[in-house]
């Protein structure tokens, strides 16, 4: 399905542009943010179906931002998929404990990004969100 709204939060400009291009090509409505502060500002204007969240962000990291979003009534039901280059033992568990609904490792692959995100987007427009990945 396409047409869903996705917020990509990543401080790496190359990753941000790649994710934006791949998602736009599939007709997703895509917004971007380079850090937690910018993501919070964007979230005041949109309600995305999914947030693709880099874990290593300057200032407030992605796990802290995820905990904040999951604690707020207005954002707690947004699907958040962690995105990280630091796939160390226990990182996936930390992401799950912070409230992430899924976990994808970098580098982002244009070929597999949509495939990795599609289980999280099934039924989001009809209100029947499905969670998988963690």
Per residue in 37-47, pLDDT (tens digit) is 999 999 999 99
Taking residues 58-64, report their average pLDDT: 96
How many angstroms separate the CA atoms of 86 and 110, rounded? 19
**Which residue blocks in 75-112 are alpha helix, DSSP H?**
91-98
Taking residues 5-26, report their average pLDDT: 94
With 0-12 CB in 10 A as exposed, 13-18 as middle and 19+ as buried, what is 122?
middle
Structure confidence at residue 106 (pLDDT): 83
CA distance between the termini of the chain: 21
Structure confidence at residue 35 (pLDDT): 97
Structure confidence at residue 2 (pLDDT): 67
- Write down all domains in the chain, each with its CATH number in brackets: 5-121 (3.40.50.2300)
Per residue in 72-127, pLDDT (tens digit) is 999 999 999 998 887 677 788 899 999 999 998 888 888 888 888 988 887 565 34
How many angstroms separate the CA atoms of 56 and 108, rounded? 15
Q: What is the pTM of this model?
A: 0.87
Residue among 74, 28, 35, 71 at smallest CA distance from 53: 35
Report which secondary-structure segment, H or E, holds 81: strand 79-84
How many angstroms separate the CA atoms of 16 and 109, rounded? 12
């Amino acid at each position: 399905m396409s047409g869903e709204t996705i917020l990509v939060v990543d401080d790496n400009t190359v990753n941000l542009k790649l994710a934006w291009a791949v998602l736009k090509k599939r007709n997703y409505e895509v917004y971007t943010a380079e850090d937690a502060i910018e993501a919070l500002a964007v979230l005041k204007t949109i309600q995305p179906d999914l947030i693709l969240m880099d874990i290593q962000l300057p200032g407030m990291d992605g796990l802290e931002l995820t905990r904040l979003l999951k604690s707020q009534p207005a954002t707690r039901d947004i699907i958040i998929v962690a995105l990280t280059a630091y796939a160390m033992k226990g990182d996936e568990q930390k992401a799950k404990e912070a409230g992430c609904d899924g976990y994808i490792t970098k580098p982002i692959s244009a070929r597999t990004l949509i495939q990795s995100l599609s289980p999280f987007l099934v039924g989001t427009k009809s209100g029947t969100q499905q969670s998988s990945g963690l």
